[in-house]
Amino acid sequence: MKKPTICITSLTCCEGCQIAILDLGERFLGLAGKIKIGDFAFLEERPESETFDIAFVEGAPITEKNKERLLDLRKRSKVLVALGACACLGGIAEIKDYQDKNERVRYVYKNIESIENPDIIPLRDLVKVDLEIPGCPINKEEFLDIVKKLIMVVSQGLLMEQMPKPAQRPVCYDCQLKRNVCLLQEGLLCLGPMMLGGCGAPCPSSGYPCDGCRGPLKNVNPDNLNRQLIKQGYSQQEIDMILQRFGVLEEIYPMPPSAT
């Protein structure tokens, strides 16, 4: 069986999703016999392979260099996987798009003349993405499971359509399995009912409401949850501010691109 050549790389981000992969330790190294590492700069510095069977890309394509890298990776990779909220949704950097983004940039840089300040977009707005692994950071167990399935798909020459799809279940499903007390019923602003589960609900399990780092369920209708939260005393603005945190607001209510 042919060993797939893998690339794991970053665009603009905190690189926390790659750290989650490294955190798998020996279990990730255990895959080494089944794959060929074509590029994983975190693990070793060496010239990258010319082509990849699977490219995992974390981060958002913010700078022109990021965009060129992403387009080039797409041309050179059979399967391209978006890793984490930055790559799947735009992520935390997208907060500035919901406000005056030039003013936000001035908080960080004194001289903004040479600063690229485009709208923040997920990978799929620029290239074809075959699979998205959500989360901020990704769930390392989910990553490992998906990598094993992808290796099987690629090395057996199957089509990506034959890749098992993650279940469209809300975070509440994971939360109920943990027998957590429901924070929404306790009056907190928890977005779990409309967010994609599979994370194991670590936030509600620790007493924090779900902010939706894994993005919304497919074709979700936010009206019921909005109505319930407004009845509980929250304003739409408060709800939207949480939805802005990982770039989820634009997934639910698409916005026109703003001027740079």
Of the candidate spans 33-41, 118-126, 131-139, 226-234, the one that interacts with ligand SF4 by CB under 6 A turns out to be: 131-139
Selected binder of ligand SF4 within 22, 41, 105, 182 (CB under 6 A): 182
Torsion over CA: 78, 219, 125, 245 (sign): negative
* Residues paired with residue 44 on neighbouring β-strands, in sequence order: 40
Selected binder of ligand SF4 within 85, 131, 133, 154 (CB under 6 A): 85
Q: What angle is formed at CA 17 by the lines to CA 237 and CA 54, rounded to 5 degrees?
A: 120
Under the criterion CB under 6 A, does residue 229 sit at the interface with ligand SF4?
Answer: no
Nearer to ligand SF4, 155 or 200 (CB): 200
Return the HEC string of 200-259: CCHHHHCCCCCCCCCCECCCCCCHHHHHHHHHCCCCHHHHHHHHHCCCHHHHHCCCCCCC
**Minimal distance, residue 35 CB to ligand SF4, in Å:** 21
SS3 175: helix
**Minimal distance, residue 129 CB to ligand SF4, in Å:** 15
Helical ranges in 77-222 per DSSP H: 84-89, 101-108, 140-155, 171-177, 202-205
Under the criterion CB under 6 A, does residue 136 sit at the interface with ligand SF4?
Answer: yes
Under the criterion CB under 6 A, does residue 226 sit at the interface with ligand SF4?
Answer: no
SS3 66: helix
197 Cβ partners below 8 Å, 6+ apart? 167, 169, 170, 171, 172, 173, 174, 214
Q: Is the peptide bond before 137 cis (omega within 30 degrees of 0)?
A: yes
Under the criterion CB under 6 A, does residue 95 sit at the interface with ligand SF4?
Answer: no
Under the criterion CB under 6 A, does residue 21 sit at the interface with ligand SF4?
Answer: no
Asked if 72 and 9 touch (Cβ cutoff 8 Å), the reply is no
Selected binder of ligand SF4 within 61, 90, 204, 247 (CB under 6 A): 204
Of the candidate spans 13-21, 64-72, 121-129, 153-161, the one that interacts with ligand SF4 by CB under 6 A turns out to be: 13-21
Selected binder of ligand SF4 within 11, 21, 35, 59 (CB under 6 A): 59
Nearer to ligand SF4, 53 or 58 (CB): 58
Asked if 29 and 60 touch (Cβ cutoff 8 Å), the reply is no
CA distances, 227 to each of 16, 167, 231, 236 (Å): 35, 26, 6, 9
Under the criterion CB under 6 A, does residue 122 sit at the interface with ligand SF4?
Answer: no
- Measured from each CB, the residue nearest to ligand SF4 is 192
Under the criterion CB under 6 A, does residue 35 sit at the interface with ligand SF4?
Answer: no
Nearer to ligand SF4, 130 or 132 (CB): 132
Under the criterion CB under 6 A, does residue 14 sit at the interface with ligand SF4?
Answer: yes
- Residues at the contact surface with ligand SF4, assessed by CB under 6 A: 13-17, 58-59, 84-86, 91-92, 135-137, 171-172, 175, 180, 182-184, 190, 192-193, 195, 199, 201-204, 210-214
